[in-house]
């Protein structure tokens, strides 16, 4: 096992809170979390890869607990669950836009044939 060294840094409190929330969501302790971020940064992991963005938001403790209980029952990861919900909502919206666009096209055709 590689020898460990202590890393200490002062950061803004708001950033510290965000990091703490994310590490909790990942189920990591702070040492594991910081190591993960540094490895991703220096070794080309996914979180710091170009072309990707982080999506984060706050929810109530009660809502978070409900989500965690659901994830435990279903065996899903939080990431897979949230991405699945977002993907489904986007697909539904795009299908609705396509249907509405088709309706507008049909109306325009009917109006042109009447004129």
Domain presence at residue 48? yes
With the CA atoms of 17, 23, 25 and 29 taken in that order, what torsion angle do they form, in degrees rounded to the nearest 10? -120
pTM, to two decimals: 0.47
Domain presence at residue 34? yes
pLDDT recorded at residue 107: 62
Q: Are 22 and 33 in contact (CB under 8 A)?
A: yes
3-class DSSP state for residue 75? coil
Tell me: pLDDT of 20 over 80. yes
Q: Band the pLDDT of 100: cuts 50, 70, 90.
A: confident
DSSP 14-72: HHHHHHHHHHHHHT--HHHHHHHHHHHHHHT-STT-TT---------HHHHHHHHHHHH
Q: Which two structure tokens, joined as six digits, stand for 66?
A: 């409900």
Query: Tens digit of pLDDT for each residue in 35-89?
Result: 888 888 887 655 445 567 777 788 899 999 999 999 999 998 888 999 999 999 9
Please tell me the total count of domains within the chain: 1
Between CA 65 and CA 72 the distance in angstroms is: 11
- Mean pLDDT, the chain, rounded, equals 83
Domain presence at residue 31? yes
Domain presence at residue 38? yes
Q: Which two structure tokens, joined as six digits, stand for 44?
A: 């080309």
pLDDT recorded at residue 45: 56
Domain presence at residue 5? no
Domain presence at residue 46? yes
Between CA 23 and CA 86 the distance in angstroms is: 22
- Expressed as residue numbers, the domain containing 50 is 11-58
């Amino acid at each position: 096992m590689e020898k460990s060294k202590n890393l200490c840094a002062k950061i803004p409190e708001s950033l510290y809170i965000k990091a703490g929330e994310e590490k909790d969501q990942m189920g990591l302790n702070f040492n594991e979390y910081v190591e993960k971020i540094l490895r991703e940064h220096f070794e080309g992991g996914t979180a710091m890869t170009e072309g990707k963005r982080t999506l984060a938001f706050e929810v109530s403790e009660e809502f978070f607990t409900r989500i965690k209980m659901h994830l435990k029952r279903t065996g899903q990861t939080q990431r897979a669950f949230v991405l699945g919900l977002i993907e489904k909502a986007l697909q539904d919206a795009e299908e609705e836009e396509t249907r509405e666009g088709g309706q507008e096209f049909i109306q325009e055709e009917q109006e042109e044939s009447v004129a």
